[in-house]
Amino acid sequence: MPGVIAEMIRHLAPGEEVHINVADAAMEASARSVLARASVANTNVFFHHHPTNDAWCRDHGPIFVQRGGEQLILDWGYNAWGGKYPPFDLDDVIPSRIAAEFGIPVGHPGMILEGGSIDVNGRGTLLTTEACLLNPNRNPDRSREAIEQMLRDWLGVHHILWLGEGIVGDDTDGHIDDITRFTDERTVVTVIEEDPRDENFALLQDNLRRLETMTDQDGMPLRVVTLPMPHPVVYQQQRLPASYANFYIGNDVVLLPAYDPDRDGIAQTTLQGLFPTRRVVPIDCSELIWGLGAFHCLTQQWPAP
């Protein structure tokens, strides 16, 4: 896994700053050694001593928004995907720790929300899933309408699109970043399974049908592009949530998790057509996915103010 992360940083650092949370100076030294062995230059790589319980900062990390010309960090509540993996106290305070380090104001919505459970187009539309956000292990005292209002109040969105289930093996109860992602303000890519015998087939077909009836914030039909699912990835008799939708959009590159020589190329070609100004880079995530996540799960973007 460290080698996969080093390869990821090697492609990202030439085009953007990469900020890495580590527990302490010893962990920083170890990480720098891994990067050096992978020929990753120190330029644009910054370390911060913020200990965590787990690596998935998409879900526990800061979500940055703009409010009245000012950058604000949102510190949503975090309970390790419905209390599945205690302890999670260190992860839960990461947004506020980062806000304090950089002197950025912080807002506390008071609702459980992981970054991987939402995807936005930057124009007021948000994608999410019923399986995750309406799961009683997150916010049992909030109705669908109340959750939607919180998203509007804190994220500035006004058009919310709900898909159904997530993929098999996803322990997050159905994060959107494993199934459907915006690539521009009107276009989404969504994964489909072509084998009717596969357990993902029906649930992904249901999501596709929903998308085909949805519109953007201006009432225009979404442009829906499909990505294949890789062949099943299994570890110790457990189906893992391998998905090409878990890509990360960088300034210069799009990092594509690769799993399957038969289908990686299809996913790369599809995304390259949707990101003509960026280079789509496939990186083997066969080992990374053992932790039940990939590049989008590992990252949280920090937009320029």
Tens digits of per-residue pLDDT, 143-188?
Answer: 999 999 999 999 999 999 999 999 999 999 999 999 999 999 999 9
Does residue 305 register a pLDDT over 80?
Answer: no
Place of tokens 């299809």: 266
To the query of whether residue 297 is one of the catalytic residues in this protein, the response is yes
Question: What is the topology classification, in CATH, of domain 50-298?
Answer: L-arginine/glycine Amidinotransferase; Chain A (3.75.10)
Average pLDDT over residues 94-115: 98
Angle at 150 between CA 149 and CA 152, to 5 degrees: 65
Distance CA 56, CA 64 (A): 17
Residue 301 CB coordination number (10 Å): 15
Distance CA 43, CA 57 (A): 22
Distance CA 167, CA 201 (A): 9
Q: Where are the domains of the chain?
A: 1-49, 50-298
Q: Residue 47 — very low, low, confident or very high, per pLDDT cuts 50/70/90?
A: very high
Write the CA distances from 143 to 173, 176, 243, 279, integer angstroms: 17, 19, 30, 41
pLDDT, residue 68, reads: 84
pTM of the model: 0.97
Average pLDDT over residues 231-250: 96
One of 57, 132, 285, 297 is an active-site residue; which one?
297
How many Å separate Cα 191 from the centre of its chain?
Answer: 15
Distance CA 226, CA 8 (A): 25
Write the CA distances from 303 to 62, 221, 251, 300, integer angstroms: 11, 28, 10, 10
Average pLDDT over residues 199-205: 98
Distance CA 62, CA 274 (A): 27
Distance CA 96, CA 105 (A): 9
